[in-house]
Amino acid sequence: MSWLAETTAVLAKEARSEWRTRVAAASLGLFVAGALALIGLAFARLSPSPELRLEINTQIAAALLWLVILFTAATGLGRAFLVEEERGTAIALRLHGRPTAVWTGKFLANTAQILLLSAVTAPILFQILGVDVRHPVPLVLSVALGCTGVAAVFSFTGAVVAQTSARGGLLAALSFPVLLPQFASGVDSTLRAIGFRATLSTDFWSTSGGGIVQLASYDAIAITAALLLFEHIWNE
């Protein structure tokens, strides 16, 4: 079987498994819904002045979006390998294909999950906060690239945590420090896409193309590092 076929088989298995139970999608969806409800409730109590409220909401919209994405990922994406160990299917996966194919299949499944959730979360969050997005295409690009990096890190650290005895809070503890640069770039890039920091120019690319490049660089390095290192923990 070719590497691509193995990867596709793992991805298809993840999709079938998720479609049968829909547990992950439902739990993450409810998490996002709860988070958005809490944000809406908290910010409804801000200053009654619409102009001031919009000013505050615009400034913090990017940070809130990325916090929701990060905590959603921490809740759901790390279980990809843990589930295999709990069900006893990990050995079948080890026998089935190359480690890089297994990791890539899981990573693609996680990426699809987090991208779907972000596609739902971002518009609803901006609607709740009453924020208008000045540059929608760069916003989509920033969120997509950021989510890809988040999925790569959680797919890798999820595999690490599945080999340990203390699983609960360890995933977030391992992942959040590594994700700090991606988080910072994502928030900055999203802020510029919303239009908050585009004070020198209305052209997003001339003011913030660097943020997109940083996000893409992080993704490339994270994926490469994970592919090179995964075999050493998978075959332990």
Partner 1 sequence: MGLPARILILLAMGGELAFVFLRLPAGQGFANPELARMIVLHLPCAYVACVFAFGAGWQGIQYLRRRELLADARSVVAAQLAALFAFLTTATGSLFAKEQWGSYWNWDPRQTCVAALLLVYAAYFLLRASVDDPDKRAAISAVYVLFASVLTPTLGYVIPRFFIDQSLHPKVASFDAWYRMGIYPTAIAVLGLSVWIQRLAVRGERIRLRLEALEESAA
Binding footprint of partner 1 on the chain (CB under 8 A): 153, 156-157, 160, 163-166, 170, 173-174, 176-178, 180-182, 184, 210, 213-214, 217-218, 221-222, 225-226, 229, 232-233, 236
55 CB-near residues (< 8 Å, 6+ apart): none
Nearer to partner 1, 21 or 165 (CB): 165
Q: How far is the CB of 144 from partner 1 (least distance, A)?
A: 18
Q: How far is the CB of 235 from partner 1 (least distance, A)?
A: 9
| Burial class (CB within 10 angstroms; exposed 0-12, middle 13-18, buried 19+) of 9 | middle
Q: Which of 173, 76, 156 is nearest to 117 (CA)?
A: 76
Nearer to partner 1, 126 or 230 (CB): 230
- Residue pair 107/155 in contact (Cβ under 8 Å)? The answer is yes
CA angle 160, 163, 167 (to 5 degrees): 80
Q: How far is the CB of 100 from partner 1 (least distance, A)?
A: 14
Q: How far is the CB of 2 from partner 1 (least distance, A)?
A: 26
Nearer to partner 1, 126 or 156 (CB): 156
Nearer to partner 1, 21 or 235 (CB): 235
- Residue pair 81/87 in contact (Cβ under 8 Å)? The answer is no
